[in-house]
Structure 1
Amino acid sequence: MNIRPCVIGLGYVGLPVLLNLSKKFQTFGFDVNKKRILDLKKNIDSTKEYRQNDLKILKSARLTYNLNDIKKSNFYIICVPTPVNIKKKPDLNPLISACKMVAKVLNKGDIVIFESTVYPGTTQGICVPVIERISGFKYGKNDFFVCYSPERVNPGDNKHTLKKIDKIIAIPNSSNVNKVKKVYKNLSKKLIISNNLEETETSKVIENIQRDINIALMNEIYIFCDKLKINFENVHKLASTKWNFTNYSPGLVGGHCLPVDPYYFSHIAEQNKIQTRVTLAGRSINEYMRKFLIKKIKNFLKDKKINYKKDIIIFAGLTYKKNVSDMRNSQSFKIFDYFRKFNRNTHGLDPFLEKNLKEKIINYKDSKKLEASKCIILLVEHKKLNFLSKKSNLKKKLYNVFKINQGKTYQ
Structure 2
Amino acid sequence: MTNIAELPALQDLRVAVIGLGYVGLPLAVEFGKQRPTIGFDLNADRVSALQTGRDSTGEVDPEDMSMAHHLRYSSDLAEIADCNVYIVAVPTPIDQHRQPNLGPLLSASRMIGSVIKRGDIVVFESTVYPGATEEDCLPLVSEGSGLILNTDFFAGYSPERINPGDKTRPLPKIVKVTSGSTPEAADLIDALYGTIITAGTFKAASIRVAEASKVIENTQRDVSIALINELSIIFSHLDIDTSAVLDAAATKWNFNRLSPGLVGGHCIGVDPYYLVHKSITAGHIPDIIRMAREINDGMARHAVTLLIKKMIQKQARVNGGRVLLLGLTFKQNCADIRNTKVVDMLDELASYGLSIDMFDPWADPSELRSEYDVEMLPEMPTPEGRYDAIVLAVSHDTLVEIGADGMRAYLTGQGVFFDMKAVFDQDDSDLRL
Q: Could you say which TM-score interval applies, normalised by the shorter chain?
A: over 0.9
Percentage of matched positions with identical amino acids: 34
Residue matched to 1:248: 258
After superposition, the Cα gap between the structure-2 partners of 1:91 and 1:393, relative to the gap in structure 1 and judged at 3 Å, is: closer
2-structure distance, mates of 1:306, 1:6: 57
**Do structure 1's residue 125 and structure 2's residue 139 form an aligned pair?**
no
**Superposition map of 1:194-205 within 5 A:** 194-205=204-215
SS of residue matched to 1:62: strand
C-alpha distance after superposition, 1:157-193 (max 9, x if no partner): 1122211111110123222345323421134211101
C-alpha distance after superposition, 1:304-348 (max 9, x if no partner): 333344333210011111111111111112213543577685211
Counterpart contact for 1:308–1:342, Cα < 8 Å: yes
CA positional deviation for 1:54: 3.0
More displaced stretch, 47-56 vs 380-389: 47-56
Residue matched to 1:409: 429
Residue matched to 1:50: 60
2-structure distance, mates of 1:309, 1:187: 56
User: What is the one-letter code of the residue matched to 1:409?
Assistant: S
**Do structure 1's residue 260 and structure 2's residue 270 form an aligned pair?**
yes
What is the aligned length?
A: 409
2:123 to 85, 106, 113: 113
User: What is the one-letter code of the residue matched to 2:420?
Assistant: V
**Superposition map of 1:94-105 within 5 A:** 94-105=104-115
Counterpart contact for 2:391–2:418, Cα < 8 Å: yes
1-structure distance, mates of 2:347, 2:329: 12
SS of residue matched to 1:147: strand
Residue matched to 1:9: 19
Residue matched to 1:159: 168
1-structure distance, mates of 2:301, 2:406: 30
2:329 to 319, 339, 345: 319
1-structure distance, mates of 2:305, 2:355: 19
After superposition, the Cα gap between the structure-2 partners of 1:181 and 1:272, relative to the gap in structure 1 and judged at 3 Å, is: closer
TM-score under structure 1 normalisation? 0.92
2:200 to 166, 190, 198: 190
After superposition, the Cα gap between the structure-2 partners of 1:16 and 1:341, relative to the gap in structure 1 and judged at 3 Å, is: farther
After superposition, the Cα gap between the structure-2 partners of 1:405 and 1:57, relative to the gap in structure 1 and judged at 3 Å, is: closer
2-structure distance, mates of 1:81, 1:354: 19
2-structure distance, mates of 1:3, 1:30: 17
Residue matched to 1:82: 92
CA positional deviation for 1:407: 4.6
**Superposition map of 1:368-407 within 5 A:** 371-389=385-403, 391-392=405-406, 394=408, 397=411, 398-403=417-422, 407=427
CA positional deviation for 1:363: 4.2
TM-score under structure 2 normalisation? 0.88
1-structure distance, mates of 2:281, 2:321: 51
CA positional deviation for 1:241: 1.3
Counterpart contact for 1:315–1:336, Cα < 8 Å: no
More displaced stretch, 72-81 vs 39-48: 39-48
Counterpart contact for 1:301–1:308, Cα < 8 Å: yes
2-structure distance, mates of 1:61, 1:159: 24
Residue matched to 2:375: 360
CA positional deviation for 1:239: 1.2
Counterpart contact for 1:354–1:362, Cα < 8 Å: no
2:147 to 133, 137, 141: 137
Counterpart contact for 2:321–2:354, Cα < 8 Å: no
Runs (5+) with no aligned partner, structure 1: none
1-structure distance, mates of 2:110, 2:195: 27
2-structure distance, mates of 1:7, 1:162: 15
Runs of 4+ aligned residues of structure 1 deviating over 6 Å after TM superposition are 341-344
More displaced stretch, 353-362 vs 199-208: 353-362
After superposition, the Cα gap between the structure-2 partners of 1:393 and 1:225, relative to the gap in structure 1 and judged at 3 Å, is: closer
More displaced stretch, 90-99 vs 386-395: 386-395
Counterpart contact for 1:215–1:250, Cα < 8 Å: yes
1:172 to 178, 181, 184: 181
Residue matched to 2:5: none
SS of residue matched to 1:278: helix
Residue matched to 1:349: 359
Counterpart contact for 2:113–2:141, Cα < 8 Å: yes
User: What is the one-letter code of the residue matched to 1:375?
Assistant: A
Residue matched to 1:69: 79
2-structure distance, mates of 1:316, 1:88: 27
After superposition, the Cα gap between the structure-2 partners of 1:19 and 1:337, relative to the gap in structure 1 and judged at 3 Å, is: farther
SS of residue matched to 2:29: helix
More displaced stretch, 85-94 vs 295-304: 295-304
2-structure distance, mates of 1:14, 1:392: 39
More displaced stretch, 196-205 vs 180-189: 180-189
